[in-house]
Chains A and B, each alone.
Chain A
């Protein structure tokens, strides 16, 4: 092994370097200048994101424990973009006096989870996968409990750490059975020995249950709404897009590499689970009044849609999953960006009824939220439509027409509740609408990136073609 081989881990090394730099800034800056950490971190991280797009070598490291290819790099870059937008949107909230002493904590914890996700995506064996998964989930519990003086925040933290610990325990039990029946933990070796004996199928079910917790598929979704509601808005937005995206990526990679042999079995499982996830997520979203809880259930149903791309295990399916996550990052972060801006400016107004008459006072924010919700619902001019379109194409290509019908029906239901929020902003009258307020430059920049992404990605077909050229399947 040569020293240059470490360049394969470029993303991870840069992120580790960032953690160290933020830590040093925290130690050596005096208290009055702590706020300068925000622009510096955002600037440095923007540089890291751009460096991530430069061409990079591909291959494996550490005897196959770490692997990287064009697709892996693409996934990591998408996660970097998501984290960058979260950083930009969080800047105004971090400026609040209550957060003044823990600005760097926010950045360090998020960067650590990002390192974990990158290792998880690039893992070539279950040991590295497990380590990455835990590194990606333990700091998020600390982030969910970030608001030390809020009951709800610590409640969200405890709910997250307990459900994630239980789910990884269940998953590990499955992994131990996989090890016992195949004698290896490396993806390629397990994949070549795995034949689908009853014990191995049981192991797969344990593994699936553990991953279902992370992606918040029904019936393992119950933690999602509580954690999303209790955690600070910016943490929620990170949790709902970047964390979920990373879990979906590695889930589809493992399904097509390790569990190739039992593909008909897991396709049936995903068929049922994705129908349940879409439908139950939609039905519960209708009756929510807290906007964060509403977006939590909407994100559960979006997870059901993402599973549509996973089900075929085809090249087109994986490409459409990656593309959909990219679009989903921009649309969901656009929605959460507006929610975060309003919550920060009004001191925690988070009910949908508070948004009545928002268009009269804050037209810019209203239009941004409308565009983001249209994209989540999949209405044509914005990128969300193309994301859904490719997912549906991937399903139709595999011949799952019943599933396709249910998915389209669910899209219509989801349109109803997304429009409820739009109606509240544009049509409903209110005696005390949220007063006009001016957002700072960071928030505006964050929302502008989201809008630009929503408009540009939909019309730039080379992006999908490029992702598809990197993709791989069963």
Chain B
């Protein structure tokens, strides 16, 4: 199955995904895209957990459990966030983050 693919590659992939997510969160203007960036961050975490579990501690399953829980919680978070985004759309008639700036400083 994973012959020849070493742990480092998974970690590099996860790190890249994490920072792509952070970069996307900070630069994107659309609220849905920002939400997608957060999902990227959480999936990077999942890759980390599963890879560590598979390669370093194969006799226990804590990393797998953690990844499963993170997936479930991310779904709940996305549900609440999207509900609020719909509400934002009703008030501001768009979901550009730069328009949601009634309160500052």
**Residues of A in contact with B (beta carbons under 8 Å apart):** 126-127, 130-131, 134, 138-139, 141-142, 145, 148, 151-152, 154-159, 161-162, 165-166, 169-170, 172-173, 175-177, 179-180, 183-185, 225-226, 229-230
Not counting A130-B66, A158-B88, A185-B62, a sample of 12 additional A-B residue pairs whose C-beta atoms are within 8 angstroms of each other reads A138-B76, A155-B100, A161-B77, A162-B25, A162-B81, A166-B41, A170-B41, A172-B41, A173-B41, A179-B63, A183-B56, A230-B103
The residues of B that contact A183 with a CB separation of less than 8 Å are 56-57, 60
The residues of B that contact A180 with a CB separation of less than 8 Å are 48, 52, 56
A172 with B80: CB separation less than 8 A: no
A142 with B45: CB separation less than 8 A: no
B69 with A131: CB separation less than 8 A: yes
A176 with B48: CB separation less than 8 A: yes
The residues of A that contact B44 with a CB separation of less than 8 Å are 173
A158 with B49: CB separation less than 8 A: no
- A221 vs chain B, min Cβ distance (A): 13
The residues of B that contact A141 with a CB separation of less than 8 Å are 80-81, 84
Q: Is the interface of A mostly helix, strand, loop or mixed?
A: helix
With A141-B80, A180-B52, A183-B57 as known contacts, state yes or no: A173 contacts B85, CB within 8 Å.
no
Q: Is the interface of B mostly helix, strand, loop or mixed?
A: helix
Q: Which 7 A-B pairs have the closest CB atoms?
A: A169-B41, A176-B48, A180-B52, A172-B45, A154-B87, A157-B84, A226-B103
With A162-B38, A185-B62 as known contacts, state yes or no: A179 contacts B102, CB within 8 Å.
no
The residues of A that contact B23 with a CB separation of less than 8 Å are none
The residues of B that contact A139 with a CB separation of less than 8 Å are 80
- B24 vs chain A, min Cβ distance (A): 11
B48 with A173: CB separation less than 8 A: yes
- B36 vs chain A, min Cβ distance (A): 12
The residues of A that contact B53 with a CB separation of less than 8 Å are 179
Specify which of A131, A176, A183, A185 lies most central, judged by the most chain B CB atoms within 10 Å of its CB. A176
Can you spell out 15 A-B residue pairs with CB atoms less than 8 angstroms apart?
A134-B76, A139-B80, A151-B92, A152-B102, A154-B87, A154-B88, A157-B84, A162-B38, A166-B41, A169-B41, A172-B41, A176-B49, A179-B52, A183-B60, A185-B66
The residues of B that contact A142 with a CB separation of less than 8 Å are 80, 83-84
Q: Binary interface profile of B, 61-105, with partner A (CB < 8 Å = 1, else 0)? A: 011011001100100110011011101100110000000101110
With A138-B80, A166-B41 as known contacts, state yes or no: A130 contacts B69, CB within 8 Å.
yes
Give A159 to B22 CA distance when docked, in angstroms.
Answer: 16
- A23 vs chain B, min Cβ distance (A): 18
Give A170 to B41 CA distance when docked, in angstroms.
Answer: 8
B101 to chain A: closest residue by CB: A155
* Contact partner, B88, options A127, A155, A169, A175, Cβ 8 Å: A155
Give A229 to B52 CA distance when docked, in angstroms.
Answer: 42
* Contact partner, A169, options B31, B45, B49, Cβ 8 Å: B45
* Contact partner, B38, options A166, A176, A179, A230, Cβ 8 Å: A166
The residues of A that contact B48 with a CB separation of less than 8 Å are 173, 176-177, 180
Give A152 to B34 CA distance when docked, in angstroms.
Answer: 20
B77 with A138: CB separation less than 8 A: yes
The residues of A that contact B104 with a CB separation of less than 8 Å are 226
Give A339 to B53 CA distance when docked, in angstroms.
Answer: 51
